[in-house]
Amino acid sequence: MGAWGDYMLKNMDKMIPYYYVVFRVIVGIVLAIHGYGKLFAQPGIAGFTGMLSGMGLPAAGFFAVLVGLIEFVGGICIAVGLFTRLAAILGGIVMIVALLFVHFPQGINPLANGGEAALLNLAAFLVMKAYGAGKWSLEKALWKKEMF
């Protein structure tokens, strides 16, 4: 394999915490951008509320704001490593609801029903629930441990 390949194999495990930080930050930023779009962009809450109302959901406006806040604030928390497990649980619940009520009624194949992002996010949230904030987290910087 050569010297470089041997070096990479020997040191790969040491890099896992750094890869996880990159993973956590990317997922958090993308989630926050998604929530920002629901809360502040056009059509924003009005469009999302309309979609939820069209599904027959009572209190659609409340749920639209709630989902937008979970995605926006939760995404920021995940990106900086603050209450990562809690944000992952809430994000996972949002993704499960989206899959069950928006995507799966259009079919089980996520490529055909538009649910691939929700499914990938759900998988990411499960990983973050298991591993928490990891290295370089605001939570550990503030309290020297993960609080949740």
**Does 105 score more than 80 pLDDT?**
yes
**What pLDDT, on the 0 to 100 scale, is given for residue 13?**
83
**What pLDDT, on the 0 to 100 scale, is given for residue 101?**
87
Specify if 7 maps to a domain: no
Domain containing 68 equals 17-142
The chain-wide mean pLDDT, for the chain, equals 89
Specify if 11 maps to a domain: no
**Does 61 score more than 90 pLDDT?**
no
Q: Note the pTM of the prediction, 2 decimals.
A: 0.87
103 touches 115 (CB < 8 A)? yes
User: How confident is residue 64, by pLDDT bands cut at 50, 70 and 90?
Assistant: confident
Which residues are CB-neighbours of 81 under 8 A, at least 6 positions away? 21, 24, 133, 134, 136, 137, 138, 139, 140
Specify if 1 maps to a domain: no
Q: Which amino acid is at 45?
A: I
Specify if 111 maps to a domain: yes
Q: Number of structural domains, the chain?
A: 1
